[in-house]
Amino acid sequence: MRLEEYQQIAHRTEAEVRTAGSDMVVPILGLAGETGELLNEYKKKLRDGDAHEHFTDRVAEELGDILWYVAATATKFGLDLEDIAERNIRKTQARWGRRDQGTLLPAWAFDARCEESERLPRQFVADFRPLVENGAPKMGVFIDAVQVGDPLTDNSHEPDGYRFHDVFHLACTAVLGWSPVVRRFLGKKRRSQPKLDEVEDGGRAIAIEEGVSALVFAYAKDHKQFEGIAHVDYDLLKAIRIMTSSLEVSVCTTGEWERAILSAYTVWRRLQIDNGGKVALDLDRASITYIGL
């Protein structure tokens, strides 16, 4: 049976609501109630174990009731259950990403069709070195023995490690194949394509990437810099997708963003412990790794 057919049949079995103005809320309340019934069956299973002989049948019955109320709720709001299911599958596929560790850079790589001089290097090492400028401790990043970007402090009243935040941009480069900030560092702006140079590699894109970095850092401070965390809050990932929706990186999934974030902070934590060190990037394998001092 197709979901469209089920939704139509479910609608024909719906009883009339007698209380004026309640026809929209009744299926939602029913959905909550049936979910409670499902939890109650699971409680019985935990309590009685194998003595709850009809557990599977009861779960199937409660899931059926939940599905009925889902269909009824969709109908009340003028939604199509087939469309809802398709949207959910697309969301789920995007959530868990396209690329696994060890795969090659995808066909949509942002500089695949550019001249060699405008392509991000597929493998390189970034060296984070503690520096002192005018008596102030800072962190500099060196690639091929050349300093890139400005040396950074934490720019905070209390030390919090933000001076290492260029590792986030490097992780975006490695995992997503995207970072206007790193393109600027490496002199890899796509000047042969003026529109890309202006929009994708320009100041606004750089500001958006820095904004994403700051947003993720604020979240990380409240979550132990993602230590021991396997998944990033979906609301944070959605916020990033919204912030970057006008840029080429919008083709990257929330799952890929999650891998970029977790990879960045795995390396970030080691850099903080050692107060610097070398970081290896491999864009073909979408990986960034701390390799030591």
187-234: pLDDT as tens digits = 999 999 999 999 999 999 999 999 999 999 999 999 999 999 999 999
Nearest by Cα to 283 from 152, 192, 172, 187 = 172
Rounded CA separation 11/140 (Å): 65
Q: Indicate the SS3 state at residue 46.
A: helix
* pLDDT tens figures, 16-61: 766 766 778 888 899 999 999 999 999 998 998 888 888 999 999 9
Query: Binning pLDDT at 50, 70 and 90, where does residue 108 land?
Result: low
- Least Cα distance to 262 among 128, 152, 101, 153 occurs for 101
Task: Please report, in angstroms and rounded to a whole number, the separation of the first and last CA atoms in the chain.
Answer: 61
pTM for the model stands at 0.78
Give the integer Cα–Cα distance in Å for 151 and 87: 45
Exposure pattern of 141-167 as b/e (b: 16+ CB <10 Å)?
Answer: bebeeeebeebbebeeeeeebbbbbbb
Q: What is the pLDDT of residue 15?
A: 78
Buried b (16+ CB within 10 A) or exposed e, 215-251: ebbebbeeeebbeeeeebeeebbeebbebbeebbbee
pLDDT digits (tens, 9 = 90+) for 135-165: 788 999 999 999 998 899 988 888 899 999 9
- Structure token digits, residue 231: 């998944």
| Residue 96: predicted pLDDT | 67
Task: Say if residue 102's pLDDT is above 80.
Answer: no
- pLDDT value at position 134? 78
- Residue 14's pLDDT band, with cuts at 50, 70 and 90, is confident
Asked if the model's pLDDT at residue 103 lies above 60, the reply is no
Question: How many whole angstroms separate alpha carbon 16 and alpha carbon 32?
Answer: 19
Please give the mean pLDDT across all residues of the chain.
90
Q: Which helix (H) or strand (E) element contains residue 43?
A: helix 25-48
- Rounded to an integer, the average pLDDT of 167-173 is 97
> Going from the N-terminus, what domains does the chain have, and what CATH number goes with each?
3-95 (1.10.287.1080), 116-292 (no CATH)
Share of the chain above pLDDT 70, in %: 94
Q: Residue 279 forms beta bridges with which residues?
A: 126, 290
